[in-house]
Amino acid sequence: MLVRFGRSVLALGFVVLISSSAVGHSAALGNVSATSLMARTVVGAPVLPSLIAWEDFDGTNGAALAGTTTDVGAKSWTAPRCTWSLASNKAKSTSGDCPLLINAATVNLSTEVKLFRNGATAWDAGVVFDANSAATKFLTVEYTSASNGSIEIWKYTGSWVSLGSTTNLYPSGVATAPASITLRVVAAAPVSPATVGEIRVSLDGVQRLAVTLSAADQTTFKAAAQSFAGPYTYNDSSSSFDSFLAEAP
Task: From first to last of the 249 residues of the chain, give the pLDDT tens digit.
Answer: 666 655 543 333 333 333 333 333 333 334 444 444 444 444 455 556 799 999 999 999 999 999 999 999 999 999 999 999 999 999 999 989 999 999 999 999 999 999 999 999 999 999 999 999 999 999 999 999 999 999 999 999 999 999 999 999 999 999 999 999 999 999 976 555 556 789 999 999 999 999 999 999 999 999 999 999 999 999 999 999 999 999 997
pTM, entire model? 0.81
What per-residue confidence (pLDDT) applies to 123?
97
Residue 23 DSSP SS3: helix
SS3 per residue for 175-242: HHCCCEEEEEEEECCCCCCCCCCEEEEEECCEEEEEEECCHHHHHHHCCCCCCEEEEEECCCCCCEEE
**Rounded-to-integer distance, Cα 33 and Cα 17, Å:** 12
Sign of CA dihedral 41, 44, 45, 48: positive
**Rounded-to-integer distance, Cα 61 and Cα 114, Å:** 19
Sign of CA dihedral 25, 29, 32, 38: negative
Neighbour tally for 243: CB within 10 Å: 14
On whether the CB atoms of residues 74 and 82 are closer than 8 A, the answer is no
CA 44: distance to chain centroid?
Answer: 25
What per-residue confidence (pLDDT) applies to 188?
78
Give me the phi and psi of 175, to 5 degrees please.
-65, -20
Using the 8-state DSSP alphabet, how is residue 167 labeled?
-
What per-residue confidence (pLDDT) applies to 137?
98
